[in-house]
Amino acid sequence: METTKKAAVTRRAILAAGSVLAMPGILRAQTADTIKIGFPVPLTGPYGTEAKDQVACAQIAIAEFNAAGGLGGRMAELLVRDDRLDPGEAATRTIELIEKDHANFIVGSLSAAVQLAVNNVAKQRGIIYNSISQSDQIAALPDWSKTTFHEAMTPHLTAGAVGRYAFSHYGKKVVFLQADYAYGHEMVDGFKAVGQSMGIEVLADLRHPLGATDFSTLLPRIQSLKPDILVLANFGRDQQISIKQATDFGLKKTTKIVAPILLYTSRIAAGEKAFEGVVGGSSYYWGIEATTPSAKALNDKYRAANEGRVPSDYGALGYAGVRSLLDAAKRAGSVETDKVIAALEGAKYDSYKGPQEFRACDHQSVQSVLIIESKSGGSSPYDVFNVIGTEAANADNLLSCKDEGHV
Amino acid sequence: MDGLTPDLLVLQLFTGLALGAIYVLLALGMSLLFGMLTVVNFAHGAFYMLGAYAGLVLLGMGFNFWACLIIAPIIVGSLGMLCERFLIRHLYGRGIDYPLLLTFGLSYVLVELVRIFFGTSGYPVDTPDILQGASDIWIGYFPTYRLFVIGVAVVVLTALWLFLERTPYGLIIRAGARDPQIVRILGIDVARVWLVVFGIGTGLAALAGLLAAPLQGTSPEMGSTILAESFVVTVVGGMGSLVGAVVAGLLVGVVVAMTSLFAPEMAQVAIFALMAVVLLVRPQGFFGRAGLMS
């Protein structure tokens, strides 16, 4: 035992000595400061599954960057923190990441309220924050600042894309059932904005409390209204339960169920029977790899690291959020805030889902929206959606910078 | 409010009764434990959740849903008996807040254990094939599975009533609740009676959880919302009263259903408004004995 240990040490020493001789650059890398990316996400709580996938994907971006030699030899490191889906907790963790751990950038969060809290901390300290969850507010004043970037889609964009597709394909008589908080309200506003121009008729606009477990008392009324479309503007478990119970009540026979965002993880958790035929929007689905080389590259790396599984939509945003900043740091040749901002503004990129661009005026990522339909009987456990439409990246579909208060 | 037909009203009323059936099953166990042992079981929601997860494991092992309906409550009921024997028993006669705090803590432990072993994301539970889809009940279509839940509630109620009122063991339980000292003097092991009662109470919670699983899937937190609701049911019906649990359970279901029809956002508040009104007018609840909490 003793001899093998000694042998191993010797071998390592020789290797190290050899590499120092061969590539002096690496020695410098180990001594220079690492680039630290703070990553507050809700590892515990209802979105734990999505958050863990965001970490797994972000690690891929870090590994890629380091394998390619980093920033002139400076390696990157991900500092993962649990924000428990709580704005206060997230703010505390972000302050620690910046003040104590000296993080160069912040990426992360998985809720509208939490990302605003993180953004607030980062902007006060002049640290770049790239948010990876949905919000209209973050790209608008007064929350926005020059250090604020938004890699994820906005509710306005998502609901608009899904609405344009659904109202033209399934009918104009609509019932909304929304979770009674910012997410539900912003999404329904988005649907109504496009719906107005398309002449939809809103039969009812119902609200349910966040975290509801029974929707049965709402369903007979909805059924009696005979809508063409039922829009479920809720998220996570609320979405799973409401879709399942609507299915049990036989609502799908007469009505198309539409959700602003159809989560890959929710669909996996709820099973194929309940979600069958439900249409919704998504920022990413692994199935686009057939036509999108950058998606294939991410999926392959994820599969290799995660026993053949595929990245989820929100997971992939973790990858993109980290990669955008590291790529910009490379282009800028620096991690200095102002130089990286300059490298990000107006940057066109294709890191995982086709062409994207950081709009210069509000730092919002202009990107495509996928319209997906849940299916049953897929060829693998991961084969859960059909991509039935793609709205290409188009800045006209976003709120204009003027509407957001930018001059 | 257009399109409000009599059929819709009746269907809505029926939806409320179906929802009430689950409240009844859960409140029944809670009320049983309070009436017999004066234990306010705050871990009742956790046992409800364990029932769903026990069913999930059993289904995964290849048992069918019907077998699970029997086995899962037995497993969870046994676990409840272990908790009674080793934790709660030591607190009898110490005032109502001791077991309350203990079971409150116990619920956190149980939920966390499930998170550790089963993850946070929850699992779907398929409705058994034969109960899928909706059935025609004259006034409209209604999910077959919810009809089945009402049926189970009726069967369980009848069985529990027969057991308590018509069997010698039921007589001992009722006597033990009234005056444990005399029962002990008569040579009956009261500790064993309480053990059995705790097993039945937690088993009923598990059955309710398993029945709820095909409606909403499982999640470690599934017991916390419904715990508050069934606590309201127990209070409205009268702490410790089984008849009260049934009447109040159905009433709360109907109140939620009717509020949902006219003002959906008020449905959740309506439950607590009902409780406030009942407490003002009749502090001991519909069928409760006054002064039991003091």
- The verdict on a CB contact (< 8 Å) between B8 and A248 is no
Residue with the bigger pLDDT between A179 and A6: it is A179
What pLDDT is attached to residue A359? 94
Omega into A142 within 30° of 0, i.e. cis? Answer: yes
Mean pLDDT of B179-195: 86
- The verdict on a CB contact (< 8 Å) between B122 and A269 is yes
B226 vs A contacts (CB less than 8 Å)? 213
Asked if the model's pLDDT at residue A21 lies above 60, the reply is no
Asked if the model's pLDDT at residue A101 lies above 90, the reply is yes
DSSP 3-state of A390 = strand
DSSP 3-state of A178 = strand
Q: How far is CA A354 from the centre of its chain?
A: 15
Question: Per residue in A285-298, pLDDT tens?
Answer: 999 999 999 999 99
DSSP 3-state of A170 = coil
Mean pLDDT of B171-176: 86
Distance from CA of B110 to the nearest CA of A (A): 16
- Which architecture characterizes domain A156-282+370-397 according to CATH? 3-Layer(aba) Sandwich (3.40)
HEC profile of chain B: CCCCCHHHHHHHHHHHHHHHHHHHHHHHHHHHHHHHHCCCCCCHHHHHHHHHHHHHHHHHCCCCHHHHHHHHHHHHHHHHHHHHHHHHHHHCCCCCHHHHHHHHHHHHHHHHHHHHHHCCCCECCCCCHHHCCEEECCCCEEEHHHHHHHHHHHHHHHHHHHHHHHCHHHHHHHHHHHCHHHHHHCCCCHHHHHHHHHHHHHHHHHHHHHHHHHHHCECCCHHHHHHHHHHHHHHHHCCCCHHHHHHHHHHHHHHHHHHHHHCHHHHHHHHHHHHHHHHHHCCCCCCCCCCCCC
- The verdict on a CB contact (< 8 Å) between A208 and B219 is no
Confidence of residue A11 (pLDDT cuts 50, 70, 90): low
User: Which residue of chain A has the CA closest to B219?
Assistant: A237
- Domain A31-153+291-367 homologous superfamily, CATH: Response regulator (3.40.50.2300)
What pLDDT is attached to residue A14? 53
Asked if the model's pLDDT at residue B32 lies above 60, the reply is yes
CA distance A271 to A3: 54
Confidence of residue B126 (pLDDT cuts 50, 70, 90): confident
Q: Give the phi and the psi of residue B249 in degrees, each rounded to 5.
A: -60, -50
- Comparing CA positions, the residue from A329, A260, A270 lying closest to residue A61 is A329
- The verdict on a CB contact (< 8 Å) between A221 and B217 is no
Question: Per residue in A262-287, pLDDT tens?
Answer: 999 888 877 788 899 999 999 999 99
Alpha carbon dihedral B180, B185, B189, B193, in 10-degree steps, equals -30
Evaluate whether ipTM surpasses 0.90.
no
- The verdict on a CB contact (< 8 Å) between A248 and B18 is no
**Domain map (residue ranges) of chain A:** 31-153+291-367, 156-282+370-397
Mean pLDDT of A33-54: 89
Question: Per residue in A316-364, pLDDT tens?
Answer: 999 999 999 999 999 999 999 999 999 999 999 999 999 999 999 999 9
A211 vs B contacts (CB less than 8 Å)? 225
Question: Per residue in B10-20, pLDDT tens?
Answer: 888 888 998 89
Give the helix/strand (H/E) hosting A214: none
What pLDDT is attached to residue A49? 84
Alpha carbon dihedral A193, A363, A310, A330, in 10-degree steps, equals 170
Percentage of chain B with pLDDT > 70? 97
- What does R_g of chain B's alpha carbons equal in angstroms? 19
Confidence of residue A20 (pLDDT cuts 50, 70, 90): very low
Task: Kindly give, in sequence order, each residue whose CB lies less than 8 Å from that of residue A109, ignoring residues fewer than 6 positions away.
Answer: A40, A41, A42, A83, A90, A115, A118, A131, A132, A133
What pLDDT is attached to residue B291? 54
User: Which residue of chain A has the CA closest to B17?
Assistant: A217
Mean pLDDT of B199-219: 92
Distance from CA of B18 to the nearest CA of A (A): 9
Percentage of chain A with pLDDT > 70? 92
Mean pLDDT of B91-105: 88
Percentage of chain B with pLDDT > 90? 43
Confidence of residue B9 (pLDDT cuts 50, 70, 90): confident
CA-CA-CA-CA torsion sign (A286, A290, A293, A299): positive
Q: Do A31-153+291-367 and A156-282+370-397 come out as alike in CATH topology?
A: yes
DSSP, residue by residue, A340-363: HHHHHTT-EE-SSSS-EEE-TTT-
Which residue pairs from B173-182 have beta carbons closer than 8 angstroms and sit at least 24 positions apart in sequence? Answer: B173/B36, B173/B197, B176/B36, B177/B35, B177/B36, B177/B37
Residue with the bigger pLDDT between B203 and B283: it is B203
Confidence of residue A5 (pLDDT cuts 50, 70, 90): very low
Q: Give the phi and the psi of residue B125 in degrees, each rounded to 5.
A: -125, 120
Confidence of residue A29 (pLDDT cuts 50, 70, 90): very low
Question: Per residue in A185-240, pLDDT tens?
Answer: 889 999 999 999 999 999 989 988 877 888 888 888 898 888 999 999 988 788 88
Q: Does A134 touch chain B (CB under 8 A)?
A: no
B219 vs A contacts (CB less than 8 Å)? 237
Asked if the model's pLDDT at residue A384 lies above 90, the reply is yes
Question: Per residue in A117-158, pLDDT tens?
Answer: 999 999 999 999 999 999 989 999 899 999 999 999 999 999
A188 vs B contacts (CB less than 8 Å)? none
What pLDDT is attached to residue A271? 79
A325 burial (CB, 10 Å; 0-12 / 13-18 / 19+) is: buried
Give the helix/strand (H/E) hosting A208: strand A201-208
